[in-house]
Structure 1
Amino acid sequence: MSNCLETLKTDIGDLVEITTKEEKTKSETKTSTTYKGTVMPCLKDDVIMIKMSSGYNAGIKKEKIEEIKILSAGETPKHVKTELNIKKEKKLKNISIISTGGTVASRVDYKTGAVHPAFTADDLIRAVPELLSIANISGKAVMNILSENMLPAYWKEVAEHIENEIKNGADGIVIAHGTDTMHYTASALQFMVKSNVPIILVGAQRSSDRPSSDAALNLIASTKFATEGLSGVYVLMHGENGDEYCYLHKSVKVRKLHSSRRDAFKSVNAQPVAKMNMLSKNKKTNEKDYKIEYIADERELKQNITDNSSNVEINTNLEEKVALLKIYPGINSDILKYYTDNGYKGIILEGTGLGHAPETLFNGIKYAIDNGLLVAMTTQTINGRVNMNVYSNGVELQKMGVISCEDMSAETALVKMMYLLANYNLEEVKELIGKNTVGEITKFSLIDLN
C-alpha cells in the first residue's frame, strides 16, 4: 500500500466517496464537491486517484479532502483468462503482431484502471476476437516503453525481430507502438528493412479503458491490411474522430498532427495510401464487414512482389550523431558550434517558409560545413516544399552547401540522414539526401490534399 492510501486508510479497488473541503468561489459562495469511484494506484503520495463510473479518472489532493467514506472494500485485482482452443486456419495468412509498448494492444483491469500488456496470441484474441476471422495471429512483446523514450538502438532491435518473424513464416507484420514517436520509427524501418511483406505500425490515441478508445478498430484494420500483400512500411490510424474509417499512410510521408484526436496522423505532402471503411453488420455472420479502398495505385504498392515467397533483408547501420534544429527568431550560432565541436556528422535544419535561416546563423552554418558536417534544409510549415531559389537568403544558404530536402518532413529527413551517413561516404550522401529513395520525396506538389 502506498503512503497516500495508508494515511487515508483505504486500498486499491475500494469503492469510495470523497467530499472535498469547502472553498470560496468568485461570488464568495462556499462550495464542496463529492466524488465517487474506485481507488486506483497512486501516482503521487499527496494525490488519491479514483476511476469514476463515467470511465474518467479523477485525482484529488489529500489536503483538499474533508471526508472519505469506504462504500465497499475492494478485492485484490486479478485477471481471469478464459480457455481458448485456437487452431490455425490454412486459408488464412500468418500475421505476427509485435509490441514495443503503448496502449493499442493492452488489457485494462476495469476495477482499478491498471493497464497490462496483452501480448500472447491468446491475449490479443481475447481483447479483439475479430482478429480470428482475419488471420492466424502470433504475438510477442519485444519491449515495453513509452514512445517518447524510443531510441535509434530500439529501431534496430525492432528491425531484427521483423527479420526473424518473416524468416519464420510471417506473411505480414503489425507493430503496436506508442503514438508520440511512431512516425520516426516508421521512417527508420522503411530505410532499414527491405521486404515484400507488409509492415504496418499501429497505435491508439485513447486508452483501452475509455469508451472512446480507438485501439480495437486500429488493430483490426492494421491486421486486415497486413494480409493484403503490400510491400513496404506503413502507419495505420483512424481517418476521422468517429469510428467510420481508418487510413493507411506511407511510413515516410506521415506525421502526428494533433496531441489527442483519434485522427491525429495525417499524410503530409501526399495522400493516404488506402482507406478501410467499417460497414454495418453482416446479416449472415452477425459480424461487422470492412471494405478496403485504395487511394494510391494498388499495382504500384504490390510491384515488388514477384512470387508468393516472403523475403527480407535488413541494414541497421545508423549514424546517431545527427541533430534536428528548429529555426526561431534569436537563435544563436553557438548551438551549431556545439554540434560541430562535439563530433556530430550532420544537421537537419527546420527552416522558416521556403527553407530559410537568419543571417545571424550563417557563420555557424559555414563553420559546420567547413568542418565536414552535412547540413540539409526542411521547412517547419510541415506542408509544402523547400525552395531556396526564390529569395536571396535561400540562395546564400545553397552557396554555403546547405542541401534542400524538397518536400520531405523534418522527422523523415533526420532518420534518412542517420541511415545515409552510416552507409555511404559524404559525397554520396550529398547526392542522395535530396533525392527520392523510398518514397520520401514526391516529384510534384499536390495542390489540394484536403
Structure 2
Amino acid sequence: MSTFPRITLIAAGGSIDSLGADRLDMVEYGQRRQFLPTDEMLARVPELFDIATVEGVTFDRIGVDTMSVDDWCRLHDRITEAVADGADGIVVTHGTNTLEELAWFLHLTLKVTCPVVLVGAMRPASGLSSDGSLNLLNAVRVAAAPESRSRGVLVVMNNQIHEARTVSKTSTTEVQSFSSAVVGPLGLVDMDGQVVFHHRSQYRHTMDSVFRVAAGTPLPRVDIVVSYYGAQPTQIDALVAAGARGIIAAGAGTTGSPVENAALDRAVAAGIVVVQASRVPTGRVTAWHRLAVRGIVASGDHSPWKARVLLMLALTVAVDATEIQKMFLEY
C-alpha cells in the first residue's frame, strides 16, 4: 500500500489545460474551448506520482468569465466532499483572471485543515514553453507538504506560494504575474523541490471563519463602482435601484468625488452597506472618523474585488456597518 499523501486534483478549466491552434497561439486559444482531458494533464507530469497519489476529477468546464457565485459554492462543496473521502490535500486548477477571488472565497468559507492549493498557468498547455506543468507539479508538492496544513487556501504560481488574502494578478500576460505586494509570498518551492515557508498569516480563515455556504444558497448582491476624473453618481444610484445589498466604492485614493460621495450617502440612508476601497493597488483605506460618521466601512488593505467577496459573505451574518467593519479588520 502506498504511503504517499492522497491528493485530489479538481480541474476547473483555465489556460493550464487549454489547447490552442498551434504552439504560438498564446492569445486566441480561449475562444476554441478545447481542453486536455484531466488524466492526460496528469500524464504529462509523471513526476507527480513520485511524491503523491493523485486522483484527477473534472469540474464543469466553465470559463472564468461566466463562472457564477453558485459555481463557487458547488466547487466549495466538491472540495469538502473530497476531504471527507480521505484526501490529504486538494489542488484546484483554474483560470488566472479571477483565481485570486475564488481563492479568497474558499479561504473564507472552507472548513478544512488540509492544504488547499489553487494553481493556473499564464500560457496554454499547447503553447511553446508553457508554464502549466511545472506549476502543477509545484502545487502538488505544496498540497502534499505537512507544513502547508492549517494555512488556509494557498495559490502556487511561478515557484512562489501566496496566501489567498494577499495575492493578486499583476500582469495580463507575463509568467511572473502573481504577487503579494507589501507582505510578499508566504514561501516558495525551491529548485530542488523543497517546500519552504517564511511566515504565517495572522488573519482569520477556514476553520476560524464564521462564514458558511452551500450550493443553491444565493449570496447577497454586491457591486463595485470605480471612481475616476469626472465620475458621476449615475452608477451608484442605478445599483441602489437595481437592488444591490452592498456597494464597494473603489476610490481615487481613499475617496470619490463630492457627487459620488453624496450618492454613497444616499445608498447608506437606503440601507445599503457601503465599503470604501481604493483603485490603487497597495495601501490601506483606514477606518477613520470621517468614514465612520457616514456609516461607511473601510476596506483596509483589501482590493475592491476581494472586498466584494468579503462583503457578500459578511452580509449573510450581519447588516450593521460597525459589525462588518470589525470583520474587515479580522479577515
Q: Matched residue of 2:161: which SS?
A: strand
**Match of 2:38?**
119
Query: RMSD of aligned C-alpha atoms?
Result: 2.6
Q: 1:278 aligns with which of 156, 168, 191?
A: 191
The code of the aligned residue for 2:16 comes to V
Aligned partners of 1:205 and 1:260 also within 8 Å: yes
| Structure-2 change in CA distance of 1:178 and 1:167 (3 Å) | same
Q: Matched residue of 2:108: which SS?
A: helix
Bigger share in helix:
2
Deviation at 1:233, TM superposition (A): 0.5
The code of the aligned residue for 1:118 comes to P
1:399-410 pair list within 5 angstroms = 399-410=293-304
**Match of 2:2?**
90
| Structure-2 change in CA distance of 1:219 and 1:171 (3 Å) | same
Moved more, 197-206 or 344-353: 344-353
Of structures 1 and 2, the one scoring higher in RCO (CA 8 A, sep 6+) is 2
| Structure-2 change in CA distance of 1:343 and 1:110 (3 Å) | closer
**Match of 1:104?**
16
Identity rate, percent: 24
Q: Does 1:364 align with 2:263?
A: yes
Q: Matched residue of 1:104: which SS?
A: helix
Query: Which is higher, the Rg of structure 1 or of structure 2?
Result: 1
Deviation at 1:431, TM superposition (A): 3.8
**Match of 1:234?**
154
Bigger share in strand:
1
Deviation at 1:398, TM superposition (A): 3.7
Deviation sequence 1:64-89 (CA, Å, 0-9, x none): xxxxxxxxxxxxxxxxxxxxxxxxx5
* Number of residue pairs aligned between Structure 1 and Structure 2: 315
Following the alignment from structure 1 to structure 2, what is the Cα–Cα distance between the partners of residues 337 and 111?
Answer: 48
Q: Matched residue of 1:350: which SS?
A: strand
**Match of 1:253?**
166
The code of the aligned residue for 2:279 comes to Q
Unpaired runs of at least 5, structure 2:
26-31
Deviation at 1:162, TM superposition (A): 0.3
The code of the aligned residue for 2:157 comes to M
| Structure-2 change in CA distance of 1:213 and 1:112 (3 Å) | closer
1:2-401 pair list within 5 angstroms = 90-105=2-17, 115-120=34-39, 123-229=40-146, 230-231=149-150, 232-238=152-158, 246-279=159-192, 290-297=193-200, 315-316=213-214, 319-353=219-253, 355-387=254-286, 389=288, 396-401=290-295
The code of the aligned residue for 2:317 comes to N
Unpaired runs of at least 5, structure 1:
1-88, 239-245, 280-289, 306-312, 390-394, 438-450
Deviation at 1:434, TM superposition (A): 2.7
TM-score normalised to the size of structure 1? 0.65
**Match of 2:314?**
420
Aligned partners of 1:350 and 1:380 also within 8 Å: yes
Aligned partners of 1:318 and 1:422 also within 8 Å: no
Q: Matched residue of 2:223: which SS?
A: strand
Aligned partners of 1:93 and 1:135 also within 8 Å: yes
Following the alignment from structure 1 to structure 2, what is the Cα–Cα distance between the partners of residues 225 and 325?
Answer: 36
Deviation at 1:381, TM superposition (A): 1.2
Deviation sequence 1:155-193 (CA, Å, 0-9, x none): 001001001111111100000001111111111111111
Deviation sequence 1:93-132 (CA, Å, 0-9, x none): 0000001111324577979987433213xx2432111111
TM-score normalised to the size of structure 2? 0.87
